[in-house]
Chain A
């Protein structure tokens, strides 16, 4: 399977615990995006990387959230001191960065987080 993969697919945690999610993008895709989707809503942008550089962070990304993309390959999203409001689907997407064409974002299956 050469698509975007995310791990774990489901995570249940207690309030106050830390969680970390992993995203493996499509090979050789320069850009990697994180979105969050709650029930009945569309995905909301959190942050994105170009190679290993984090270029933009949404105001939704509080200081409890941190994302990394070491060596420009896979990415991790960590949430510290989880709150019930963090319960959502966390989606990762990747795209190439080619001039003159539309760079489609390919989404992974998401990690569903439930905070009890």
Chain B
């Protein structure tokens, strides 16, 4: 079993839809939970991070962490074609530790 599991998709939604992306993990030592966005032929860029359990909102993006279930989610409201990318969930044990990534979900937002 991999440390971090994520549905690879691809996921295709119409513009304006609400997108839900999810990951599960097995290592209870993870304390920081991140979502990265990666465009084709580019390095990943950090969208949001959450420390421990709870919710965090940033504009159209909401991240949720449920440590008891070892489950994290990213919601994108009012999705835009510019949101089309691969979304990587990621985790680490501390604020400066190596990051363990999921395989990524490919998202296409159709105008």
Chain A interface residues toward B at CB < 8 A: 4, 31, 33, 35, 40-45, 48, 56, 91, 93, 95, 97, 101-110, 112
Contact = CB atoms under 8 A, between A and B. Distances in A.
Nearest to A109: B43
B43 A33 contact: no
A106 B4 CA distance: 21
Contacts of B49: 102, 104
A110 B45 CA distance: 12
Interface of B: 4, 6, 8, 32, 41-46, 49, 51, 88, 90, 95-96, 98-104
A41 B98 contact: no
Contacts of A43: 44, 88, 99, 101
B98 A56 contact: yes
A32 B41 CA distance: 21
B91 to A, nearest CB: 11
Contact of A102 (B8, B95, B98): B95
Contacts of B51: 102
A37 B98 CA distance: 15
Contacts of B95: 101-103
Given A95-B96, A104-B49, A41 B103 contact: yes
12 contacts: A33-B99, A35-B101, A40-B104, A42-B6, A42-B88, A42-B102, A43-B44, A56-B98, A103-B96, A107-B43, A108-B43, A109-B42
